[in-house]
Amino acid sequence: MSLFLEALWLALDAIWSHKLRSLLTVMGNIVAVTSIIAVVTLIEGMNLAVGDAITSEAGADAFMIERVGIITDEDEAERARRLNPRITIEDALAVEGYSRDVDAVMAKVTQRGRVTYRGREMERTQIEGVSEDYISFSNYGVEEGRLITPTEVRRRRPVAVIGWGVADRLFEGEDPLDKAVKVEDRHFRVVGVSAKKGAIFGRSQDEFVIVPLGAHQRIFGIRRSLSLMVKPDDPGGMLEAMEDAVVALRIERQLKPAEENNFGLFTSGTILGLWEAATSGIFAVLIGVVALSLVVGGIVIMNIMLMLVTERTREIGLRKALGARRRDIVWQILAESVTLSTVGGAVGIVLGFGVALAIEQATPVPAAVAPWSVALGIGMTGGVGLVFGLYPALRAARLSPIEALRKD
């Protein structure tokens, strides 16, 4: 142990007294770990953001029914858009009526439109119409005022809950409650303001207006396909509820057994899965880049360690004369190469976080630290030091003390 500490101290001392050489030696490690940490930190940040976005959109405990499901094939998507009928309120009723496992079904429709208040206006704001069951879904809430009541929804009352961003931009500090905003050309009384959600990938999540579905249809028409959100009684019963929903819709739409579903069904997990499949491609490329820089880095380290062994032939001979066994010498050289390599890794970790933070500052891409990536960076560079230090270490251990001492 004390031998290891001695070797460690020696290694740090040697690194410090040859700063430039050490830096060049571990450049491969630094590049490798910097890229791992930077990419992983950004992907982790995006994962969290995307996860949040999807959950706030679809809810963690609900699944969605859309006209077109998640299709990655462009032709198939086009065909589904042409052939699948619109989702209607009858579909919602069918799903709700069929299954006992379903707690609530809401229908919603979203359209971009103009919102104005006293001459101030916001173009292309998200206008969302919701059916009365929306109240059962966790992703709706207000910070001030109240939600739209189911009765108001049923009676298609001109009331609205506005997002924090809409309140901020249209009212500029004025209290929005009970004021009338105009959506397209119709007046709506503001009854509630949502809490601030922030931005994801630079896009504000707070610029929306929620109105009763019927009121929405008065503005934008009834020909738009709805989206359904279905909440099972028991979050664990998601799959059963989804199967029931498929059966309910197939019966309602009178599909023959051979016909495919003409609607799409997915959960937030499905979307997250797609996202993760996409990012795993980035990881695959990353592994290639990292492996390459680590091998290059390892070879450079091996080269430098061989040089160090030659440089210290006399010292190694002396140590052997004083009683160092072969394994003592092996450990000494290994400790040094592992330390050198790991210091490179540590520098890479710091640089990687720096790069990720800089990107987070300069672009909308978020960053989040994944602790495992730090462990990975240290572990990998330590491993490289061990593997590529082994040959120099064994060569040092094989030196004969006489030869080593004789050398000038």
Partner 1 sequence: MSLIEVEQLKKSYEMGSERVHALRGVDLQVEKGEYVAIMGPSGSGKSTFLNLLGCLDTPTSGRYVLNDRDVSTMAEDDLAQVRNEEIGFVFQTFNLLARATALQNVELPLVYAGVGADERRSRAETALEKVDLSDRVTHRPNELSGGQRQRVAIARALVNNPSILLADEPTGNLDSVTGAELLGLLDSLHEKGHTLFVVTHERDVAKHAQSIVQLRDGQIETIERV
Site for partner 1, rule CB under 8 A: 2-3, 6, 10, 13, 314-315, 318-328, 400-402, 405
Among candidate residues 390, 293, 312, the one with its CA nearest the CA of residue 26: 293
Cβ nearer to partner 1, comparing 13 with 90: 13
Residue type for 75, please? D
Cβ nearer to partner 1, comparing 68 with 329: 329
**How far apart are CB 318 and partner 1 at their closest, in Å?**
5
**How far apart are CB 331 and partner 1 at their closest, in Å?**
11
What CA dihedral angle connects 19, 24, 25 and 29, to 10 degrees? 110
What does 153-193 look like in DSSP terms, one character per residue? HHTT-SEEEE-HHHIIIIITTS--TTPEEEETTEEEEEEEE
Q: How buried is 197 (Cβ within 10 angstroms: 0-12 exposed, 13-18 middle, 19+ buried)?
A: middle
Q: How far is 29 from 382, CA to CA, in rounded Å? A: 10
In this structure, how many other beta carbons lie within 10 angstroms of the beta carbon of residue 318? 14
Cβ nearer to partner 1, comparing 13 with 243: 13
Cβ nearer to partner 1, comparing 92 with 330: 330
Q: Taking the alpha carbons of 187, 191, 195, 197 in that order, is the dihedral positive or negative?
A: negative
Beta-bridged to residue 208, according to DSSP, are 126
**How far apart are CB 378 and partner 1 at their closest, in Å?**
26
**How far apart are CB 385 and partner 1 at their closest, in Å?**
21
**How far apart are CB 393 and partner 1 at their closest, in Å?**
15
**How far apart are CB 18 and partner 1 at their closest, in Å?**
12
CA 350 to chain centre: 21
Q: How far is 244 from 370, CA to CA, in rounded Å? A: 39
Cβ nearer to partner 1, comparing 177 with 405: 405
Cβ nearer to partner 1, comparing 13 with 78: 13
Cβ nearer to partner 1, comparing 2 with 361: 2
In this structure, how many other beta carbons lie within 10 angstroms of the beta carbon of residue 83? 10
Please give the span between the terminal C-alpha atoms of the chain, in angstroms, as a whole number.
31
**How far apart are CB 322 and partner 1 at their closest, in Å?**
5
Residue type for 272, please? L
**How far apart are CB 319 and partner 1 at their closest, in Å?**
7
Cβ nearer to partner 1, comparing 78 with 403: 403
Q: How far is 20 from 35, CA to CA, in rounded Å? A: 21
Pair 294, 28: CB distance under 8 Å: yes
Q: Could you tell me how many residues make up the chain?
A: 408
Q: Is 267 left (phi over 0), alpha (psi -120 to 50) or beta?
A: beta
At 130, give phi and psi (nearest 5°). -125, 150
Q: How buried is 193 (Cβ within 10 angstroms: 0-12 exposed, 13-18 middle, 19+ buried)?
A: buried
Cβ nearer to partner 1, comparing 181 with 399: 399
**How far apart are CB 304 and partner 1 at their closest, in Å?**
17
**How far apart are CB 338 and partner 1 at their closest, in Å?**
19
Residue 104, SS3 per DSSP? strand
Q: How far is 338 from 360, CA to CA, in rounded Å? A: 32
Q: How far is 126 from 134, CA to CA, in rounded Å? A: 17
Cβ nearer to partner 1, comparing 303 with 400: 400
**How far apart are CB 397 and partner 1 at their closest, in Å?**
9
Cβ nearer to partner 1, comparing 13 with 234: 13
Residue with tokens 């959950």: 55
